Amino acid sequence: MKKTGYFTHPDCHLHEMGAGHPECPERLSAIHEQLLHSGLARTLDAREAPQAQLSDLTLAHTPRYIARLQALADGLRSKPAGAGATHAWLDPDTSLNVHTWNAALRAAGAALAATDAVMAGDMDNAFCAVRPPGHHAGKNEGMGFCFFNSVALAARHALERHGLRRVAIVDFDVHHGNGTEDIIDGDQRILMLGFYQHPFYPEGGARSNASNLLNLPVPAHTRGGAVRELVMQHWLPRLHAYRPEMVFISAGFDAHRDDELGQLDLLEDDYHWLTGQIRSVADQYAQGRIVSCLEGGYDLGALARSVEAHLRALSDA
């Protein structure tokens, strides 16, 4: 059985973007309750996520963007209680409240700490149960519920601070990870593989044909069997040819059949299978080293069951 880390923090529950917003604190509560009920929580190495430092954020984001977000957060914190707006908006779907800055630093810090722990051999792999998500956050822009790109930060951290030469990012969220694409476009040290519903958010889908990117559009109502075929035909040959020394996962579960924010038809078994394929590659080339970070997934029941399936595949539980 693999030793799987589980990184989270109470600060990640405090970020919220208004009543009825799908990217809500209850997402983490649903995951936690599912893992407790199933007994899987007892098998995980649970750790509190530290805060990322500002110097960490520059691995993926421009100082100008970081300063802009910090200024928005400082503006909210400086307001007296009950005075004026409670949120600052990046786009119609994405806003900060007074707790967002700390939550976003915890989400990024979880990915960095998980990378350190896996590289040190303290655990075989790790899952970061954090929010806000990150894969729509680009070098100089936050959008799509995302502020800092945790997976891109962790991948660069592994390369630049742990001396790895080749890492892979696998993104199975229903939405294209446009922020990750923006950050790593042309960086041959990082291979990004993804599938995503298209046409869908973000508009236009993948925008780069750089040789280190393989992001595959699929139509609405694509089922798990078709996704598995794409993985076998396209992802796995690229991963075996690339031989990554560590694998990072943008683990979005909104391609599930029950999730109303997407129109793909994956099930829990598909996430278990996908994770198993990724783990097989990591076992072969990367000493099993995987760090996975929560992205989307908005039907609470489907999300919780899918994360359990993902963690069972990571841990052999």
Q: How far apart are CA 317 and CA 148, in angstroms?
A: 31
Q: How far apart are CA 20 and CA 210, in angstroms?
A: 38
Active site residue 175: no
Catalytic site residue from 136, 175, 176, 310: 136
Q: Match 């990012």 to its residue by tokens.
A: 169
* DSSP H or E stretch at residue 164: none
Name the nearest CA neighbour of 150 among 7, 293, 21.
Answer: 293
Amino acid at 130: V
State both tokens at 144: 């799509």
State both tokens at 290: 């995987």
Strand segments (E) across the chain: 4-8, 45-48, 88-91, 94-96, 125-128, 167-171, 190-197, 213-218, 247-251, 290-294
Contact 132, 293 (CB under 8 A): no
Q: What amino acid positions are annotated as catalytic residues?
A: 136
